[in-house]
Amino acid sequence: MYRSISIDDKEMLKFLYVRQKIPTDQYKRRPEALRQLTDRFNALTERIDKADDLLHFMISQRKQGKWPKLGTAHRKLARVPLDLMTAEEWKILDEIYLDMNVGSDNYAYNVELRRELARRFSVSAGRFLPARTLCAALERRRKEGSLPRLTDKPEKPFGDIDAVAM
């Protein structure tokens, strides 16, 4: 991030988030919506933040209980179907996830991680699936409680948007 986020800028981001009615977890599968949110936020606040950095900030704030809840007013998004991959491909994805040892949320705001996940899956499974689709698959498994546990603790959340750049 280029500068610390002010209280007014944070409130503007919250306002735009609630108005767009898309939960933070869904932005992983809706890159165009995230780009629109980022463009609006940057235009209104005269900031130059990256979409991945804003998403990281929103998710961290949500995990700390500092982000608005949309309740039932949010836009629904279809879940990743279980038949998207074979049982062997799901196993491959789990093995890659464990090998990379990175929490599932981190893929949402790190393009390099997404690319590496997709590359490894393509090589191991012998077919291509978009990185965001693989991220959504990991997210589904995490929410169902079937994603394997990582050995290391996840990174600590930050309270300031500038902490993303550090």
- pLDDT, tens only, 79-133: 677 788 999 999 999 999 999 999 888 887 788 999 999 999 999 999 999 888 8
Phi first, then psi, for residue 60 (nearest 5°) are -65, -40
Q: Can you give the pLDDT at residue 37? A: 96
- Cβ distance 118 to 90 under 8 Å? no
Q: Give the integer Cα–Cα distance in Å for 35 and 105.
A: 18
Q: Can you give the pLDDT at residue 115? A: 93
Q: Give the integer Cα–Cα distance in Å for 99 and 82.
A: 22
CA-only gyration radius of the chain, Å = 16
**Of 72 and 135, more confident:** 135
Phi first, then psi, for residue 99 (nearest 5°) are -65, -40
Name which of 54, 140, 52 is nearest 90 in CA terms.
140
What tokens were used for 40? 């609006």
- pLDDT, tens only, 35-90: 999 999 999 999 999 998 999 999 999 999 999 998 876 666 666 777 889 999 99
- pLDDT, tens only, 150-164: 875 555 555 556 555
Output the pTM of the full model. Answer: 0.55
